[in-house]
Amino acid sequence: EAGVAQSPRYKIIEKRQSVAFWCNPISGHATLYWYQQILGQGPKLLIQFQNNGVVDDSQLPKDRFSAERLKGVDSTLKIQPAKLEDSAVYLCASSPLRSVYNEQFFGPGTRLTVL
Amino acid sequence: GESVGLHLPTLSVQEGDNSIINCAYSNSASDYFIWYKQESGKGPQFIIDIRSNMDKRQGQRVTVLLNKTVKHLSLQIAATQPGDSAVYFCAENRNSGYALNFGKGTSLLVTP
């Protein structure tokens, strides 16, 4: 079974530039998550989708971050404009159902460096 | 606010020894806990989970213990191997939202 795919793996941009990350979840997984992992810390949820609808975006900095999952499969996370503190690894995860007892499968992440 | 934290940031063990990684949580409503392993350059990988109605669960070479009285869980790795070197996170998956709330992580280093 193919895992969660993310691209690009690495991205270096200057502050105030824009950047977009792409995620392809495991086939058939209805729930998709974007996490931000700052160096030395655990991942922090940014946004959660159930199919193509947003379930939780309470921790998403909406003035600069946006995400979509238009067809309920792939998802894109965008930052515009980027700040230095956005340097982090952006992880995408998916799970089959929206359940408390549901394992989440993580992709390899995109490492963003903002200069 | 609510948090999931780890007692020690780093742990060094000799190959073949048993490892114990501890985690404290503060939300008494938490009802599901997961341990993840994260190797350098990779996403977190599921190791083992436990529901709040259990106090112990065993997997292959790993055991998770949950003490709800003191809001503490631990991950025990038997006969630790060099391939076990990684950062280990405990996470809680609360009933609301279903996303994971991660602690900071413990770096496990296995020495020969």
pLDDT value, residue B2: 44
Of A23-27, A39-43, B33-37, B100-104, which gets the smallest average pLDDT? B100-104
**Candidate ranges A39-43, A87-91, B6-10, B27-31; pick with highest mean pLDDT:** A87-91
User: Hey, how many other C-beta atoms are within 10 angstroms of the C-beta on B96?
Assistant: 8
- Judged by CB atoms closer than 8 Å, whether chains meet at A103 and B98 is answered as no
HEC string of B8-59 equals CCEEEEECCCCEEEEEEECCCCCCEEEEEEECCCCCCEEEEEEECCCCEEEC
**Which of 43-62 (A) contact B at CB < 8 A?**
43-45, 48, 55-56
Amino acid identity of residue A66, one-letter, is: S
List the beta bridge partners of residue A91: A35
Query: What share of chain B in percent tops pLDDT 90?
Result: 68
Query: Given CB atoms, is A103 within the 8 Å cutoff of chain B?
Result: yes
Contacts of B41 in chain A (CB under 8 A): 108
Contacts of B36 in chain A (CB under 8 A): 106
Q: How far is A39 from chain B (nearest CA, A)?
A: 10
Average pLDDT, chain A: 93
pLDDT value, residue B96: 53
- Judged by CB atoms closer than 8 Å, whether chains meet at B41 and A43 is answered as no
Q: In the predicted model, is pLDDT for residue A47 greater than 70?
A: yes
Return contacts of A55-62, CB within 8 angstroms, 24+ apart: A55/A31, A55/A98, A55/B97, A55/B98, A56/B97, A56/B99
Query: Given CB atoms, is B76 within the 8 Å cutoff of chain A?
Result: no
Q: Which residues contact B92 (CB under 8 A, 6 or more apart)?
A: B4, B25, B27, B30, B32, B33, B34, B100, B101
pLDDT value, residue B3: 52
